[in-house]
Structure 1
Amino acid sequence: MTQSIVVQVGQCGNQIGCRFWDLALREHAAVNKTGMYDEPLSSFFRNVDSRYDDTSDIPVGDGKGKIRSLKARAVLVDMEEGVVTELTNGPLREVFDYQQLITDVSGCGNNWAVGHKMYGVQYREQLSDTIRRAAEYCDCLQCFFVMHSMGGGTGSGVGTSILNLLEEEYPDVYRFVTAVYPSVEDDVITSPYNSVLAMRELTEHADCVLPVENQALVEIVNKISQAVPSLKTGKRTYSTTGVKSGSAITSSQGGVTSPAEEKPFDSMNNLVANLLLNMTSSARFEGSLNVDLNEITMNLVPFPKLHYLVSSQSPLYAMSDVNLPPRRLDQMFSDAFSRDHQLLRADPKHSLYLACALMLRGNAEISDIRRNIDRLKPNLKFIHWNQEGWKTGLCSVPPVGQPYSLLTLANNTCVRHTFSELKDRFVKLYKRKAHIHHYTQIDGMELADFGESLESLNSIITEYSSLETHMNSPPPPEPRLQILT
């Protein structure tokens, strides 16, 4: 069994991470009725002897008389300690290893340069030691998941600094990044600078990036609220069905978590957490057609820098305990290719697919996937040299409360429209050199960094655009062998 480490950076990354660990514990609790440590749990959790760990007060028997507790394979980083402190004082406090937390008090002031050039350098050795400690607890480390926002200073700056460190010190371990992009109405005026400066680092140093747009999350949550009126109250009911009291996968209150109400961004963060849960389901549970995480990059990234994947999910649910009416399997496939179910505001149907992965969970058959591919394929445009560019996965364990779920990950040229909008917002600020001095006054930050980052973004947009030209032009003729006499 392989293991993965989650690196949560900044307010956004840590809040998403909190939802991920909460929901992951729920899924394992639904399957693991005895509360015993097993291989699926080992993928994202480690088993700790509580007698030598004073950070935990949730004992669980391992059947041999020893006292054990679970610790998340997580590193929590934030240059403002508020969110991390809230997590370590909250219902999941026993899940986090206090030696895996790195915080400061002053924050990055929504400035990529402060995060990347100042704190990234200042904390590099501590970050390296903390990540190394987490890696040493793994028997077979396969992947790092980095979660952060693009618009703030810590997420974009420190997050990409950590990404560079991971590439340097763990070059053979895959680096997946979940990056939350700011909306057009973002209240951080410098967010276009931060996003474009960070994108250069993501393009150069990540293996796979799952871009998520804040505005898309807001729209999805609003649609769910309209469809399920009870969601408007924000009240939650916490079920402990299938969770053994006092086990490592329950809290001291008897449930996985037990706050009375959702916090403001929990609904949006749950959507992103479900994306990660579905993508890692094959690494955590058995299935007839499991997809290894390295297969995602192998099959969906034909060119090294074009590693931005559009994600879509069905069913969509923002609250962790909402029991929505089950969707028909075929309808879920149709939904997953609808722009209403995407975590990015783009339209892949009218753009070009380079490759696509379908990751289905539940009691389904491979024939169900094949049937739906045959049904949907005529309406989707695949590049001529990869007409059969489908990667399929089938995990037998569904999400809690749902019979099935479907995640699609598409390498599609439609992301260029999102990047073009970001570029336009960047240029609008940069051509007036607005707020530039806040960046260039940081040691190591130069004006050239802006120009090079813009050039990198232009390159990505151009490459996706050039591939899209294949949509309206026939494939080149097959070369014919000529015999010279």
Structure 2
Amino acid sequence: MSSSLLILLPFPPYTTYFTLFPSIFLCQPKQNLSNSLSFSTMREILHVQGGQCGNQIGSKFWEVICGEHGVDLTGRYNADGESSDNHLERINVYYNESSGGRYVPRAVLMDLEPGTMDSIRSGPYGQIFRPDNFVFGQSGAGNNWAKGHYTEGAELIDAVLDVVRKEAESCDCLQGFQVCHSLGGGTGSGMGTLLISKIREEYPDRMMMTFSVFPSPKVSDTVVEPYNATLSVHQLVENADECMVLDNEALYDICFRTLKLTTPSFGDLNHLISGTMSGVTCCLRFPGQLNSDLRKLAVNLIPFPRLHFFMVGFAPLTSRGSQQYISLTVPELTQQMWDAKNMMCAADPRHGRYLTASAMFRGKMSTKEVDEQMINVQNKNSSYFVEWIPNNVKSSVCDIPPKNLRMASTFVGNSTSIQEMFRRVSEQFTAMFRRKAFLHWYTGEGMDEMEFTEAESNMNDLVAEYQQYQDAAVDDEGEYDEDVDGVEEDYES
């Protein structure tokens, strides 16, 4: 009976039919077609920056992105004689177009004191941000993780989440979040990790990528850095998908050694970081031959869920004086991006092995040449790659190079040598925690010693995990039985 009823039903009106089967009706002029389908290419990223360090890195990043997309200091598009199609096609990844034709960054800026916010507002790009998206307190976190996570930060977090929600609702298809913060202070570490855990609760299926500035081995700004960093890593292991690990000392070294700057400023350091940040997402924003995005990056780089702390690098990095003597070629970029001196964190990849790596190239180049170079690197340095993950280097090629460069590349590597950083911080943490030094500042904000003990053991577990996979060999699990071994020996002979 029901089947005959179905046959007798009339066709729905055309409007309804279009909503059910839009592809049948898509024979229309080309420009309308691209407009009607533009929603499918929008993969927005919501940017959050917290604390003094995070806000300074973040504001430098927006300078770079504005330059790449031709957005001027007022948020207007300024073609500058270049192809507008490439600039505007996917500008929505990082920008929201307002009714007045201005491009407004999808950015949330937070801090527990007004100082950094004021300097961003009064800076050259201060006018492009939505005024409502500046969320700040007055008291500061005083380099105390507990203040950022449990007291001062907890009072401000709802206001920040409201702005995050508003921005997320204005997206067509939010791909994920990127957070800039440091782990040594109070706001970026304490309130930053609080925000990450709240966002994770509310948007569990969106990607969470962080650019985290770790305490430097020799240069210390704050005595309690090891406490703040260990408590932060405890949170990042559980709540972040991808952590790009940076530190000031490695960045200073790049400025001194490679760029030959005699007195590098934080601005120079932040410029290095922003080049990497834009490189990681360039495939989402510009057309390319081999695309990559936050989720593809995670799927290809994270063999085990807790091991998501990456080393990053960028090429070309050359001093002003030697730029004219260097030819920008794919082999040249490849050689520099894999160079240990080029890594932006204080861990030496030669002391460990790569579980996985990703190379994101930008500019006009042949994918065949890129593939050949990647295979070449793996063959020549096979001892530095774990043999039980074959073909563990992912590459992508984006056609549009960064501003003022013919080609460039961004490197992201998951190396077991990153444990050097965790081990160093853990040793400093243990030395102070054994004597309960400075602990009263944290317990005074309501924290319990137990939380310190848990964070310490989580960090030590992480180091042990990296070491375990560094030492692992193909046949550790005993997958092969004797017969198979015999066959293999015959084959080799």
The alignment's TM-score, normalised by the length of structure 1, stands at 0.84
What's 1:399 paired with?
402
Deviations 1:312-353 (A, max 9, x none): 22112699xx99955332021111111111001222234222
Q: Given that residues 271 and 318 in structure 1 are in contact (C-alpha distance below 8 angstroms), is that contact kept between their aligned partners in structure 2?
A: no
What's 1:316 paired with?
317
Shift of 1:163: 0.4
Q: 2:209 aligns with which of 139, 151, 176?
A: 176
Shift of 1:472: 9.8
Return the alpha-carbon distance in structure 2 between the equivalents of residues 167 and 191 of structure 1.
25
What's 2:277 paired with?
276
Answering whether residue 473 of structure 2 is matched by residue 458 of structure 1, we say: no
Return the alpha-carbon distance in structure 2 between the equivalents of residues 233 and 350 of structure 1.
30
Give the counterpart letter for 1:301 in structure 2.
Answer: I
What's 2:370 paired with?
369
Return the alpha-carbon distance in structure 2 between the equivalents of residues 458 and 233 of structure 1.
36
Return the alpha-carbon distance in structure 2 between the equivalents of residues 318 and 5 of structure 1.
33
Return the alpha-carbon distance in structure 1 between the equivalents of residues 309 and 83 of structure 2.
40
Distance 1:392 1:35, change over 3 A: closer
Q: 1:83 aligns with which of 91, 112, 116?
A: 116
Distance 1:148 1:329, change over 3 A: same
Q: What count of residue pairs does the alignment treat as equivalent?
A: 429
What's 1:360 paired with?
361
Answering whether residue 125 of structure 2 is matched by residue 124 of structure 1, we say: no
Aligned-partner SS, 2:90: helix
Q: 2:144 aligns with which of 97, 103, 111?
A: 111
Distance 1:21 1:434, change over 3 A: same
Shift of 1:471: 5.5
Q: Given that residues 364 and 399 in structure 2 are in contact (C-alpha distance below 8 angstroms), is that contact kept between their aligned partners in structure 1?
A: yes
What's 1:208 paired with?
242
What's 1:331 paired with?
332
Deviations 1:423-455 (A, max 9, x none): 111111111111000000102x11111100001
Distance 1:133 1:324, change over 3 A: farther
Q: Given that residues 14 and 83 in structure 1 are in contact (C-alpha distance below 8 angstroms), is that contact kept between their aligned partners in structure 2?
A: yes
Mapping of residues 9-408 of structure 1, within 5 Å? 9-29=50-70, 33=82, 38-49=88-99, 67-184=100-217, 185-226=219-260, 264-316=265-317, 325-378=326-379, 379-380=381-382, 381-408=384-411
Return the alpha-carbon distance in structure 2 between the equivalents of residues 284 and 267 of structure 1.
25
Return the alpha-carbon distance in structure 1 between the equivalents of residues 355 and 290 of structure 2.
22
Deviations 1:290-329 (A, max 9, x none): 102110111111111111111122112699xx99955332
Q: 1:6 aligns with which of 47, 61, 72?
A: 47
Return the alpha-carbon distance in structure 2 between the equivalents of residues 144 and 91 of structure 1.
25
Shift of 1:124: 2.5
What's 2:432 paired with?
429
Give the counterpart letter for 1:289 in structure 2.
Answer: L
Shift of 1:26: 0.8
Distance 1:460 1:17, change over 3 A: same
Return the alpha-carbon distance in structure 1 between the equivalents of residues 227 and 303 of structure 2.
28
Uncovered stretches (5+) of structure 1, i.e. residues with no partner: 50-66, 235-263
What's 2:22 paired with?
none
Distance 1:428 1:32, change over 3 A: farther
Shift of 1:271: 0.8
Aligned-partner SS, 1:141: coil
Distance 1:426 1:368, change over 3 A: same
What's 2:414 paired with?
411
Shift of 1:32: 7.9
Q: Given that residues 136 and 156 in structure 2 are in contact (C-alpha distance below 8 angstroms), is that contact kept between their aligned partners in structure 1?
A: no
Uncovered stretches (5+) of structure 2, i.e. residues with no partner: 1-41, 71-78, 485-493
Higher relative contact order (CA closer than 8 Å, sequence separation 6+): 1
Shift of 1:33: 3.6
Aligned-partner SS, 1:391: strand
Return the alpha-carbon distance in structure 2 between the equivalents of residues 302 and 265 of structure 1.
34
What's 1:259 paired with?
none
Shift of 1:358: 1.1
Query: Which structure is higher in helix share?
Result: 2
Q: Given that residues 259 and 317 in structure 2 are in contact (C-alpha distance below 8 angstroms), is that contact kept between their aligned partners in structure 1?
A: no
Structure 1 range deviating more: 463-472 or 405-414: 463-472
Shift of 1:40: 2.1
Shift of 1:481: 9.2
Q: Given that residues 337 and 349 in structure 1 are in contact (C-alpha distance below 8 angstroms), is that contact kept between their aligned partners in structure 2?
A: no
Q: 1:470 aligns with which of 458, 469, 472?
A: 472
Shift of 1:38: 2.6
Give the counterpart letter for 1:159 in structure 2.
Answer: G
Aligned-partner SS, 1:161: helix
Deviations 1:179-215 (A, max 9, x none): 0011133120001100000000000100111110111
Return the alpha-carbon distance in structure 2 between the equivalents of residues 448 and 323 of structure 1.
57
Return the alpha-carbon distance in structure 1 between the equivalents of residues 80 and 243 of structure 2.
30
Q: Given that residues 326 and 402 in structure 1 are in contact (C-alpha distance below 8 angstroms), is that contact kept between their aligned partners in structure 2?
A: no
Q: Given that residues 11 and 78 in structure 1 are in contact (C-alpha distance below 8 angstroms), is that contact kept between their aligned partners in structure 2?
A: yes
Q: Given that residues 312 and 409 in structure 1 are in contact (C-alpha distance below 8 angstroms), is that contact kept between their aligned partners in structure 2?
A: yes
The alignment's TM-score, normalised by the length of structure 2, stands at 0.83
